[in-house]
Amino acid sequence: MIQINKIPNFDASKLAQIKAVFALSNPGTKFKYTRHNVGALFVEVIAEKNSQTLIAEKNFSFFELNIGSKNIIFSRTDTFMNSSGIGLKELMKKFNLKPENVLIVHDELEKDFPKIGFGSGSHKGHNGMRSVFEQTGATTFYRLKFGIGRPENKNDVPTFVLEKFSKDQVDTLIETFQEVLTSLETFFQEN
């Protein structure tokens, strides 16, 4: 079982400020199970497991869910990855959110599958995060990163992130997502 406070770079003070979870992704069924869309898959699985329907706005979709003692907005961009910041900027405006209120969920090349970690700071070449920084003018977002591994050849990264997870990997992710949600519930009940 995943314990949220045991995930690398966990920071209780940052997580306690979260009011929204925002997933970076590419839109459409073509990209649904790709490595780059692990954030959107996280939000979609949480919605399905809790009988929620994503409400579509212009450039993002969302639903609200009580987690522990908090109401959290779960959302994903409906733009392409490299324009993810547009959807986030609109979400922040609609719900009057500051950067410290948003937990961004995305894929992480620097972590092996299925490791997870928290973090902040540089976009490290992630174009979705680059867009977030450019559109919002902020670089301080707390992030939940799902490891997808890295191909041996650096030039293979664009193809690698758009490849689909195997059925076994999807099953592992769904189990991991549920454990993360359970840990978040415990955290927000206690904080």
Among residues 148, 142, 139, 152, which one has the least CA distance to residue 173? 148
Catalytic residue among 36, 106, 123, 126: 36
CA-based angle 140:50:178, to the nearest 5? 60
Tokens standing for residue 82: 């490299």
For residues 124 and 31, what is the distance between their CA atoms, to the nearest angstrom?
Answer: 22
User: Is-contact 67 180, C-beta < 8 A?
Assistant: no
118: phi then psi, degrees, rounded to nearest 5: -95, 165
Known catalytic membership, residue 36: yes
Q: Which residues are catalytic?
A: 36
